[in-house]
Amino acid sequence: MKQSVKSEAYAQQRMKSKQRMERIIHGVFLLLGLITVGCVLLITLYLVISGLPAIVEIGPVDFFLGQEWAPTAGEPSYGILPFILSSVAGTAGAILLGVPIGFMTAVFLSKMAPSRLKDVMEGAVSLLAGIPSVVYGLVGMMVLVPGIRKLFNVPDGASLLAAIVVLTVMILPSIIKMSVTALDAVPREYEDASLALGATAVETYFRVSVPAARSGIAAAVVLGVGRAIGEAMAVMMVAGNAPNMPGLFESVRFLTTAVASEMAYSSGLQRQALFSIALVLFLFIMLINATLNFFLKREKE
Amino acid sequence: MKKIIALGLTALMAVSVLTGCGGNSEPQKVTTDGSTSMEEVIGVLGEAFQNDSGIEVTYNPTGSSSGIQAVQEGRCDIGLSSRALKEEEKSAGLAGTVLAYDGIAIIVHPENPIADLSLETIAKIYTGEITNWSEVGGNDAEIVLIGREAGSGTRDGFESITGTEEACQYRQELTSTGDVITAVSQNPDAIGYASVSAVADKDNVKAITVDGVAANEATIKDGSYVVQRPFVLVTKDGEELSEAAQKFFDFITSADANELIASAGVVSAN
């Protein structure tokens, strides 16, 4: 009897110390989780605090709709409409070129390719994703820019078109990988049923597999948009960076490159305005992320 | 939520405290910050000084305005500016000492037949008054203007010398000397500008003469090559430098440093 009371007390004590351990580990994990949340909050707070004053000082209308950017002029003007439109045009162009290529590649890889070819091609796609953006920029500068100049017989090849081509190549891996994952997840039974009803293989892929995977493919497109709009380095090296309104062969400056190219030398209101541009970019990317989450959630359901 | 905000603010304060005293926590170290154009000259001088005295010299290539700001905020010992100080900067309590003069070379593609332009013509080309090479005796091709981004010391130097402030019709605004040289070397109709020291040993671009004067040490020093700008050491006026920083300052402004400065491709002022 005595023995069992003792062992019960011992068990209780062990239980308590285990619970305490659990709580400590729980706390550590929570703390680690909070680091990420804290970073996001800190960056958001910092961007809003340092980005808002310039918008107020310049005036929202002049800032967002002004067509001239000349921060170091005697009478400076801070209109970022050319940057916004260039970013949108560049991203739209990259999506227009990249999505059909990426989507078709994904259908091929997921449904048609023999497994050895699939392995090789997927390896190549992963490699493409791993190439640093400065390398894309450098190749663009040495090959693409002179190429566009000769091919289209324009005075200079550094243009929106060059940026679109570079961005297209850069977003391909994201689109292909995510689309392949979505297509691979389509239940085999759907396709079997379609084939059993007499549809051809290609009909099955486009009428059954693709509609079943459409949320995942939409998420892939949105991810591509996010990648394209946030890219700075490669764009800076091929787009020419003059603050013009967008035109296919016009030298243009994106939101990202506007911040990156002048940040090092800026001071005063110019620097504050660059933070404001970063804030605008941040809002764009938040919007894109929200869209992405929407599609991903729908796919899960 | 409150907790998170408090945590965030605490972290922010901790970081700001750290940066606040980062500048002078290490006495036997000279920190310099500023013009990317001065990288080579400061690199050479810093290395020689370090070998000589054992005091480490750090250099942070952020750009002239950033360097000037860094001195003002006490984040570095000596600021490096590749332009003369502005009036507002002088009145904010900063002093500038000219270390050397740097010529800005006007560069074109090696296949371009143009070999000489006057300063006035260069200004007209950059403001868009002259748009075709045939107007200055070259091929019938549109001139492609390559320059630097707003705020760059080289751009500021070039535009103030040619009198084309805020009027340049750039086709490309690039963020480094290397990018400008690459862009010009890739386009037979391009014209650009870059430090003389950066283009001296390049054969993928051609430096043209200005008003018949080629950019070299002698012509920059005697002032006959007109496209040139000062390299300025920025310090706080009336405030003593740290012992190590003063030693470094004395060394680089002494005659002993002339040879080193010349080896970096610029012309010593002292």
pLDDT value for A10: 85
Find where tokens 């190429």 sit: A147
| pLDDT tens, position by position, B34-75 | 887 788 789 899 999 999 888 999 988 777 888 898 999 889
Cα separations in angstroms, B85 against A53, B9, B106: 27, 36, 24
Cβ of B183 within 8 Å of Cβ of A158? The answer is yes
Q: Do B29-100+229-268 and B102-227 share a fold?
A: yes
Split at pLDDT 50, 70, 90, the class of B22 is very low
* pLDDT over 80 (residue B268): yes
DSSP A246: P
* pLDDT over 70 (residue B4): no
Mean of the per-residue pLDDT values of chain A: 90
Split at pLDDT 50, 70, 90, the class of B1 is low
Count of CB atoms within 10 A of residue A233's CB? Answer: 16
Q: Nearest to residue B230, comparing CAs of B269, B193, B265?
A: B269
Candidate from B63, B150, B172 with C-beta closest to A71 = B150
The mean pLDDT value for A211-228 works out to: 90
pLDDT value for B264: 77
- Superfamily classification of domain B29-100+229-268: Periplasmic binding protein-like II (3.40.190.10)
**Chain B CB contacts of A45 below 8 Å:** 8
* pLDDT over 90 (residue A168): yes
The mean pLDDT value for B18-44 works out to: 71
Go through chain A and tell me how many residues it has: 301
The mean pLDDT value for A149-159 works out to: 90
Residue A123 CB burial class (10 angstroms; 0-12, 13-18, ≥19): exposed
Q: Nearest to residue B207, comparing CAs of B105, B130, B113?
A: B105
pLDDT value for B26: 47
pLDDT value for B110: 93
Cα separations in angstroms, A199 against A111, A182, A209: 15, 22, 12
**Is B7 within 8 Å of chain A by CB?**
yes
pLDDT value for B48: 92
SS3 A269: helix
Candidate from B171, B182, B189 with C-beta closest to A251 = B171
Chain A: give the shortest CA distance to residue B179, in Å.
Answer: 8
Q: What is the CATH number of domain B102-227?
A: 3.40.190.10
How many CB pairs (< 8 A) connect A and B? 102
Cβ of B186 within 8 Å of Cβ of A34? The answer is no
Percent of all residues in chain B with a pLDDT value above 70, rounded to a whole number? 89
Find where tokens 């950019």 sit: B215
Candidate from B69, B173, B187 with C-beta closest to A267 = B69
Tell me the one-letter amino acid at B97: T
Cβ of B151 within 8 Å of Cβ of A72? The answer is yes
The mean pLDDT value for A218-234 works out to: 91
Supply B129's token pair: 């008054």
* pLDDT over 70 (residue B5): no
Q: How far apart are CA A89 and CA A161, in angstroms?
A: 10
Percent of all residues in chain A with a pLDDT value above 90, rounded to a whole number? 70
For A14-23, A175-184, B150-159, which range has the lowest pLDDT when averaged over its residues? B150-159
Chain A: give the shortest CA distance to residue B173, in Å.
Answer: 5
Cβ of B150 within 8 Å of Cβ of A42? The answer is no
Domain boundaries in chain B? 29-100+229-268, 102-227
Interface test with B, best of A154, A156, A253, A270 (most B CBs within 10 A): A156
pLDDT value for B25: 46
**Is B183 within 8 Å of chain A by CB?**
yes
- For B89, which residue in chain A has the nearest alpha carbon? A267
**Chain B CB contacts of A74 below 8 Å:** 165-166
Q: How far apart are CA B180 and CA A46, in angstroms?
A: 34
ipTM: 0.74
Cβ of A270 within 8 Å of Cβ of B150? The answer is yes
pLDDT value for B9: 55
Cβ of A265 within 8 Å of Cβ of B172? The answer is no
Q: How far apart are CA B24 and CA A119, in angstroms?
A: 56
pLDDT value for A179: 94
* pLDDT over 90 (residue B127): yes
pLDDT value for A184: 92
**Is B11 within 8 Å of chain A by CB?**
yes
**Is B256 within 8 Å of chain A by CB?**
no
Interface test with A, best of B73, B172, B174 (most A CBs within 10 A): B172
Go through chain B and tell me how many residues it has: 270
Q: How far apart are CA A269 and CA A208, in angstroms?
A: 56
* pLDDT over 60 (residue B21): no
Supply B44's token pair: 């050479």
The mean pLDDT value for A212-224 works out to: 90
| pLDDT tens, position by position, B71-124 | 998 899 999 998 888 888 888 889 999 899 888 999 999 999 999 999 999 999
pLDDT value for B24: 44
pLDDT value for B10: 56
Phi and psi angles of residue A261, each rounded to the nearest 5 degrees, phi first: -75, -30
Split at pLDDT 50, 70, 90, the class of B256 is confident
Supply A164's token pair: 């679109």
Q: pTM of this prediction? A: 0.75
Mind spelling out the 3-state secondary structure of chain B? CHHHHHHHHHHHHHHHHHHHHHCCCCCCEEEEEECHHHHHHHHHHHHHHHHHHCCEEEEEECCHHHHHHHHHCCCCCEEEECCCCCHHHHHCCEEEEEEEEEEEEEEECCCCCCCEECHHHHHHHHHCCCCEHHHHCCCCCECEEEEECCCCHHHHHHHHHHCCCCCCCCCEEECCHHHHHHHHHHCCCEEEEEEHHHHCCCCCCEECEECCECCCHHHHHCCCCCCEEEEEEEEECCCCCCHHHHHHHHHHHCHHHHHHHHHCCCEECC
SS3 A272: helix
pLDDT value for B8: 56
pLDDT value for B23: 43
**Is B149 within 8 Å of chain A by CB?**
yes
Residue of B1 and A100 predicted with greater confidence: A100
| pLDDT tens, position by position, A235-275 | 998 998 888 899 999 999 999 999 988 887 676 788 899 99
Count of CB atoms within 10 A of residue A29's CB? Answer: 10
Chain B: give the shortest CA distance to residue A231, in Å.
Answer: 16
Split at pLDDT 50, 70, 90, the class of A146 is very high
pLDDT value for A25: 94
